[in-house]
Amino acid sequence: MKLYRTAVSYFVEDGTRFYRGDDTAWDVLIARDDLTEFLQSSLSRFSPAAPPSPNEIRAPIGSQEVWAAGVTYYRSRDARMEEAKSAGGGDFYDRVYAAARPELFMKATPHRVVGPNQKVAIRSDAKWSVPEPELTLLITPSGKITGYTIGNDMSSRDIEGENPLYLPQAKVYDRSCALGPCILVSAAALSRETEIRLEILRSGKMEFSGTTTLDALKREPASLVDYLYRNNSFPSGCFLLTGTGIVPPDAFTLQAGDEIRITIPPIGTLINQVG
């Protein structure tokens, strides 16, 4: 089942059918530990509906914080070691890749998040910007993973590479995060073969494309959640981006007007423009 948020209501996609949900507030709905069972048992009282149109769909976020894990794929470790080498910070990425404790950082508050078909931003003081396509967990206040969405962890590689202590500036700014298009509601883990695909189009032409699979994700989602929830409470639950396994070549930087498409087949495609 997939769950979509719009300005007026929420919608449930079950197979080929769509239903309009009740007036439960989004924060209340997505904080439920029994989200799958609740939606399944509610379908009979929901009205069948047309699918929400792409311009009606909002980011699937209410008042949750968005956190992110880093250096969870070998490709990310490699790229970061290279970009931070001359600043003497390369070693930290190697160490965190191998350590028991993951890198976790606060990525965004809701007002910094955009939804499908909205514009993500590149920083005006950055010269080297990339999207990071990441499987994103929906986690309830009790720490249960109840769903998955797609996240784009927009990043300024030159700022982070200059000094790893600049990470919050490289990662957290207005419209630095995109989420959507829906939540795949499922308490079951996604298969290790699940593909993540990134495509960047410039003037309608493919400028970069790359893929990875969850098999290359070094850490278990449940272990990331375990660390995130240690001595840390999330009254409305939270979203956790699980890291990138796709990094465009070093010569690539995003430009205004680029279109970023991130596909994770069981969830869908998140499309954003840069502007």
Residues near 231 by beta carbon (within 8 Å), at least 6 away in sequence: none
Q: Of 9 and 152, which has the nearer Cβ to ligand DO4?
A: 152
Q: Of 71 and 159, which has the nearer Cβ to ligand DO4?
A: 71
Q: Which regions of 143-227 does DSSP assign to beta strands (E)?
A: 145-153, 155-156, 177-185, 195-202, 205-213
Among 65, 153, 199, 258, interactor with ligand DO4 by CB under 6 A: 153
Give least dist CB 12 to ligand DO4, A.
30
Is residue 68 involved in binding ligand DO4 (CB under 6 A)? Answer: yes
Is residue 129 involved in binding ligand DO4 (CB under 6 A)? Answer: no
Give least dist CB 219 to ligand DO4, A.
11
Among 13, 65, 83, 103, interactor with ligand DO4 by CB under 6 A: 103
Q: Which of residues 216-255 bind Mg ion (CB under 5 A)?
A: 244
Give least dist CB 68 to ligand DO4, A.
6
Among 5, 58, 80, 175, interactor with ligand DO4 by CB under 6 A: 80
Q: Of 156 and 244, which has the nearer Cβ to ligand DO4?
A: 244
Residues near 124 by beta carbon (within 8 Å), at least 6 away in sequence: none
Please state, in angstroms and rounded to a whole number, the distance separating the CA atoms of residues 107 and 125. 19
For 12, 139, 238, 274, the CA distances from 153, given in Å and listed in that order, are 26, 18, 15, 13
Amino acid residing at 22? D
Q: Which regions of 23-141 does DSSP assign to beta strands (E)?
A: 47-49, 57-58, 65-70, 103-108, 113-114, 119-120, 129-130, 133-139
Q: Is 78 helix (H, G, I), strand (E, B) or coil?
A: helix
- Binds 71: which of Mg ion, ligand DO4, none (CB < 5-8 Å by kind): ligand DO4
Give least dist CB 74 to Mg ion, A.
14
Please state, in angstroms and rounded to a whole number, the distance separating the CA atoms of residues 248 and 250. 6
- Binds 103: which of ligand DO4, Mg ion, none (CB < 5-8 Å by kind): ligand DO4
Residues that bind Mg ion (CB under 5 A): 132, 153, 244
